[in-house]
Chains A and B, each alone.
Chain A
Amino acid sequence: MSDLWEGLSQAFWLVVLLDPDLVEITLRSLRVTLTALLIASVIALPLAALLAVRRFRLRRATIAVLNALMGLPPVVVGLIVYVFLSRAGPLGVFGLLFTPTAMIIAQVIIIVPLIASIAHQSLRELWSDYHDLLISMNTTQGQRIRALLWDGRRALLTAALAGFGRAIGEVGAIMVVGGNIDHATRVLTTAIALETGKGEFAMALGLGFVLIGMAIAVNLAIHWIGHTERGGRW
């Protein structure tokens, strides 16, 4: 219990004093995760809409695979990305291993299926509402996808936030491909793992509370920007 209080106290002082290491690690966490989220959303949301409006032979199988990939083990993703980016791997020439870019790639692979699956659930229901209307208006497939993405944007925000939550708390994959290098690839989760390994529980807890606070703050900010939960709005 004393560790918990000490952790809270340490988190408080770390934040109040704007500890330079903490600020650096936190900003890197945010940069990596928000970049991964942006890229993943650009891939996953149109994919989810396409799966909702278009009928093709392997559609069901694609949806089943996406759902299954939601449970993708991050360490395995990290390992696969490591193999691809390592010097002997097919993408080794780019020299991306142990860089924030490698961490972003791993996070994108982890959260694309999650965002796409959650978004698809929402858009499928919306499409069943809109189907006859949009067909009767002689819309193109692109127009249907745009209508679903726009009108379903608040549900899609939830999907994106789920992706953010998964990515910001991720440690296995980014530890493998990022290497937890000080001032280079260290982020909040890998720093917590490191401090715990060193037996510095108070510091680890302090970083943990900062991580939780940041995740909540980002969620609230996105809700506020998205105008969700306001009277008379979707």
Chain B
Amino acid sequence: MQMFPLTVEQGVVRRRGKVLVGPVDLTLAGQGTTIVVGPNGAGKTSLLKMLHGIVRLNEGRLNWACPREEAEKRQGFVFQMPVMMRRTVVDNIAYPLRLIGVPRKEARARAADWAHRIDLGDALERQAVLLSGGERQKLALARALIRDPEVLFLDEPCASLDGRATREIEEILAEAAQSGTRLIMSTHNMGQAQRLADEVILVIGGRIHEFSPAAEFFAGPQTPQGAAFLRGDIVE
């Protein structure tokens, strides 16, 4: 059953009375990579969490093309600060498979394959909390991708990583996108946005100011806020 389009109608998320996101109207189709950009505190993370379902809407509606329960099983999320479970590398990666009943031996074998793909093959039995920032993020990506999600949300996965780690992450993301995973990702890095994006969402103050194909956005934003953001002006 098709998951997309994902539609949000007048979606609002509040916390302690403060509006974090919205009102938002958005329709996402089922292909390509969508990059969410915006200044610090604009609501990018909250928007991603809202779309993924970690944060519930206070107002409005969010609909997948399939039943919500079905959609929730077919998506993953990678956090800006990857959460390492207090387990070994291989057990961390295998965990999502164990959740759906894959036998331990098979889950660990598939996890070991993934660990080799992300250059953590030598660290299978190391405690995940001892990994470096870049290694943690690669592990988080592998853990999110091991169940072949149809949609993967990523919240600034390369923030605070060096160039090499960023390139490795981008390579994994490019592979995932090529194999059909729909990527919806926030970033501060405009270069990264240009390299990865098929379409761009500009969020400022919790609202979507621009949603357009990447080429159009980077060639000439349609809104003054978009132009100011690309120029590097302070926008709020």
Contact = CB atoms under 8 A, between A and B. Distances in A.
Contact of A136 (B76, B95, B126, B127): B76
B86 interface: yes
B83 A129 contact: yes
B54 interface: yes
A182 B47 CA distance: 70
Contact of B85 (A135, A143, A151): A151
Interface string B78-114: 0100010111000000011001000000000000000
A234 interface: yes
Contacts of B130: 232
A152 B77 contact: no
B83 A234 contact: no
Contacts of A217: none
B79 A132 contact: yes
Interface residues of B, number: 19
A130 B79 contact: no
Interface size classification for chain A: 10 to 19
A26 to B, nearest CB: 36
Interface in A121-157: 126, 129-130, 132-133, 135-139, 143, 147, 151-152
A234 B91 CA distance: 14
Contact of B79 (A133, A138, A152, A232): A133
A151 B87 contact: yes
A55 interface: no
Given A133-B83, A147-B85, A234-B86, A138 B72 contact: yes
Contacts of A130: 83, 85
Interface string B116-157: 000000000011011000000000000000000000000000
Contact of B129 (A138, A143, A152, A234): A234
A136 B73 CA distance: 9
B83 A132 contact: yes
B99 A132 contact: no
Contacts of A138: 72-73
B99 A135 contact: no
A135 B76 CA distance: 10
A139 B72 CA distance: 10
Interface in A92-139: 126, 129-130, 132-133, 135-139
A233 B96 CA distance: 22
B54 A143 contact: no
> Max chain A CB contacts within 10 Å: which of B49, B87, B95?
B95
Given A132-B54, A135-B54, A143-B99, A152 B72 contact: no
Nearest to A140: B99
A171 B87 CA distance: 40
A44 to B, nearest CB: 20
B44 interface: no
Contacts of A136: 52, 54, 76-77, 79
Contacts of A133: 79, 83, 85
B126 A232 contact: yes
B85 A137 contact: no
B99 A139 contact: yes
A152 B99 contact: no
A147 B130 CA distance: 19
Interface in B20-64: 49, 52, 54
A232 B128 CA distance: 10
A151 B54 contact: no
Interface of B: 49, 52, 54, 72-73, 76-77, 79, 83, 85-87, 95-96, 99, 126-127, 129-130
16 contacts: A126-B86, A129-B83, A130-B83, A132-B49, A132-B54, A132-B77, A132-B79, A133-B83, A136-B52, A136-B54, A136-B76, A137-B99, A138-B72, A138-B73, A232-B126, A234-B129
Given A133-B79, A136-B76, A232-B127, 9 more contacts: A126-B86, A130-B83, A132-B77, A132-B79, A133-B85, A136-B54, A151-B85, A151-B87, A234-B127
